[in-house]
Amino acid sequence: MDSSKNGTPESEARAKGKAAAGAVPPPVAAARVGRGGWKKGVAVFDFLLRLLATGAALAAATTMGTTDQTLPFFTQFFQFQASYDDLPVFTFFVIANAGASAYLVLSLPFSIVCIVRPQAIGPRLLLLVFDTIFVALTTAAASSAAAIVYLAHNGNANANWLAICQQFNHFCQQVSGAVVASFVAALTFIFLVDLSTICLKRN
Amino acid sequence: MDSSKNGTPESEARAKGKAAAGAVPPPVAAARVGRGGWKKGVAVFDFLLRLLATGAALAAATTMGTTDQTLPFFTQFFQFQASYDDLPVFTFFVIANAGASAYLVLSLPFSIVCIVRPQAIGPRLLLLVFDTIFVALTTAAASSAAAIVYLAHNGNANANWLAICQQFNHFCQQVSGAVVASFVAALTFIFLVDLSTICLKRN
């Protein structure tokens, strides 16, 4: 790099040529100097978003998993009780959100690798592919549960399905909260995919 | 580039340096030579997948939108009839899938730009961000409709919701077909996101 002190364009080009012939290829070297800090910031934000999504998915799974309401009156034969496993959709909801939080916890080390080495493509690509799958999974869980919650709140006269939330008020509130938490997790996943995309753009 | 005929490492490095100082930066030039054909193939595949997804989303919207079954018996006061707009979830389904097919048709010119210029980052990034949003939208439509279709087929004894598919057999079949088509569209969107990711990887 000493020859660049001459200052002529010709010698500068020669100096660049020597750098290019070295161990580090030019695009990587340029990115390391110019965009390393910016990418590290995005990687830290990615890590924080993953913590938020873990919290949201875990909250959704536990809130839904612990719903259980027994009405204070009962007939001679049975007591009125509502729990999440009365409806298969809610069971799927718990499994999907528990799976999403497990994946998010497992993805944290990869996210840390992306902070330490912002130029690494492998872990970033791995996270992006799995994040896209979990966008679909959490959205599916949240929206199918939302369809049933809507039915529980409003009923449907055409299909002759009655609203059950008048009786199971506490149950419905808890389930609605879980659905909102799951939607937060799904939106965070969409945001994570977009963040990873921006990071991959210039490698 | 004539100096590279000398064969010494020093002169080769100088030649590279001259290329680096020219109008075309080295990473773009290298990618244009080495990976243009590969990327063009992926872009063509992306275009074909978009056509498939357009067909699936359009089929889902039209199949759901034309469901209408009138039972051959009626009481004194009203006739039994089932149509997609009896359930708000199915209305959302039609809107979401129609929106997805409209977006897919609009995205075709951008996909063609990606075929013509495989190195262009702008249109690819735009497609990726919107594709991710439509992964969520089509999955939400398909899974919420699937939750209701499951209920229509099986009913739920705990919530005292009866199955309606014994009566409205044709209606249920048509709705189930629409849900399957919408899931095909959602899966194609996930695949499109992953394809775009691979294309963005090395630019």
Q: Using the predicted structure, report yes or no on whether residue B133 has a pLDDT greater than 90.
A: yes
Long-range Cβ contact pairs of A135-138 (< 8 A, separation 24 or more): A135/A186, A135/A189, A135/A190, A135/A193, A135/B132, A135/B135, A135/B136, A135/B139, A136/B135, A136/B136, A136/B139, A136/B186, A136/B190, A137/A96, A137/A99, A137/A100, A138/A57, A138/A96, A138/A97, A138/A100, A138/A182, A138/A185, A138/A186, A138/A189
Compute the half-sphere exposure of residue B18: CA atoms within 13 Å on the CB side of its CA.
Answer: 9
Classify residue B104: in a domain, yes or no: yes
- Is pLDDT larger for residue B126 or for residue B188? B188
Distance separating alpha carbons of residues B59 and B53, to the nearest angstrom: 10
Distance separating alpha carbons of residues A73 and A66, to the nearest angstrom: 21
Mutation for A interface: B165, B200, B203, most A CBs within 10 A: B200
Helix, strand, or coil here: B69? strand
pLDDT digits (tens, 9 = 90+) for A160-202: 888 888 888 888 899 999 999 999 999 999 999 988 888 777 6
Nearest residue, CB atoms, A13 vs list B12, B18, B193 = B18
pLDDT at residue B77, rounded to an integer: 59
pLDDT at residue B8, rounded to an integer: 45
Average pLDDT of chain B, as a whole number: 80
Q: Using the predicted structure, report yes or no on whether residue B202 has a pLDDT greater than 90.
A: no
B96's tokens: 């979401």
pLDDT digits (tens, 9 = 90+) for B173-192: 999 999 999 999 999 999 99
Output the domain CATH number for residue A134.
1.20.120
Are A193 and B193 contacting, i.e. CB atoms less than 8 angstroms apart? yes
A144–B141 CB contact, under 8 Å: no
Local structure of residue A162 (DSSP, 8 states): P
Percentage of chain A with pLDDT > 70?
76
Scanning A35-168, the segments in alpha helix (DSSP H) are 36-65, 88-116, 122-154
B89–A147 CB contact, under 8 Å: yes
* CA closest to A9 among chain B residues: B21
Classify residue A165: in a domain, yes or no: yes
Cβ-based contacts of A18 with chain B (< 8 Å):
13, 17
pLDDT at residue A38, rounded to an integer: 81
C-alpha distances out from residue B117 to B37, B113, B124, Å: 11, 6, 10
Q: How many domains does chain B have?
A: 1
Provide the ipTM.
Answer: 0.75
- Is pLDDT larger for residue A154 or for residue A22? A154
Average pLDDT estimate for B84-113:
92
pLDDT digits (tens, 9 = 90+) for A29-60: 444 445 567 888 888 999 999 999 999 999 99
Are B189 and B39 contacting, i.e. CB atoms less than 8 angstroms apart? no
Classify residue A6: in a domain, yes or no: no
Least confident range of A198-202, B194-198, B199-203? B199-203
Chains A and B form CB pairs within 8 A to the count of: 147
Q: What residues make up the domain containing A122?
A: 36-69+86-201
Are B89 and B145 contacting, i.e. CB atoms less than 8 angstroms apart? yes
Compute the half-sphere exposure of residue B110: CA atoms within 13 Å on the CB side of its CA.
Answer: 17
A17-28 burial: b if 16+ Cβ within 10 Å, else e: bbbbbeeeebbe
Q: Using the predicted structure, report yes or no on whether residue A9 has a pLDDT greater than 50.
A: no
At residue A119 the predicted structure's pLDDT band, cuts being 50, 70 and 90, is confident
Q: Which H or E run contains A68? A: strand A68-74
B158–A87 CB contact, under 8 Å: yes
Compute the half-sphere exposure of residue B99: CA atoms within 13 Å on the CB side of its CA.
Answer: 16
* CA closest to B9 among chain A residues: A21
Average pLDDT estimate for B64-71:
81
B20–A15 CB contact, under 8 Å: no
Cβ-based contacts of A16 with chain B (< 8 Å):
17, 20-21
A135–B133 CB contact, under 8 Å: no
Q: CB-based contacts of A73: which residues, under 8 Å, 6+ apart?
A: A80
Of the candidates A109, A99, A111, the one whose C-alpha atom is nearest the C-alpha of residue A49 is A111
A18–B13 CB contact, under 8 Å: yes
Average pLDDT estimate for A14-29:
47
Classify residue B111: in a domain, yes or no: yes
Q: Which H or E run contains B81? A: strand B79-83
Average pLDDT estimate for B51-62:
95
A79-83 and A68-74: which strand pairing? antiparallel
Q: CB-based contacts of B65: which residues, under 8 Å, 6+ apart?
A: B84, B94, B98
Q: What is the pTM of this model?
A: 0.77
Helix, strand, or coil here: A70? strand
The size of chain B, in residues, is 203
Classify residue B186: in a domain, yes or no: yes
pLDDT digits (tens, 9 = 90+) for A86-104: 888 999 999 999 999 999 9
Least confident range of A1-10, B97-106, B118-127, B152-161? A1-10
Average pLDDT estimate for B2-17:
45
Of the candidates B6, B16, B34, B85, the one whose C-alpha atom is nearest the C-alpha of residue A156 is B85
pLDDT at residue B69, rounded to an integer: 76
* CA closest to B186 among chain A residues: A136
Average pLDDT estimate for A107-119:
90
B143–A148 CB contact, under 8 Å: no
Q: Using the predicted structure, report yes or no on whether residue B3 has a pLDDT greater than 90.
A: no
Nearest residue, CB atoms, A13 vs list B20, B87, B203 = B20
Local structure of residue A161 (DSSP, 8 states): B
Q: Quick one: chain A helix, strand, coil %, rounded to 5?
A: 75, 5, 15
- Is pLDDT larger for residue B36 or for residue A112? A112
Classify residue A123: in a domain, yes or no: yes
Q: Using the predicted structure, report yes or no on whether residue A11 has a pLDDT greater than 70.
A: no
B147–A147 CB contact, under 8 Å: yes
Nearest residue, CB atoms, A128 vs list B146, B150, B197 = B197
A124's tokens: 């970033």
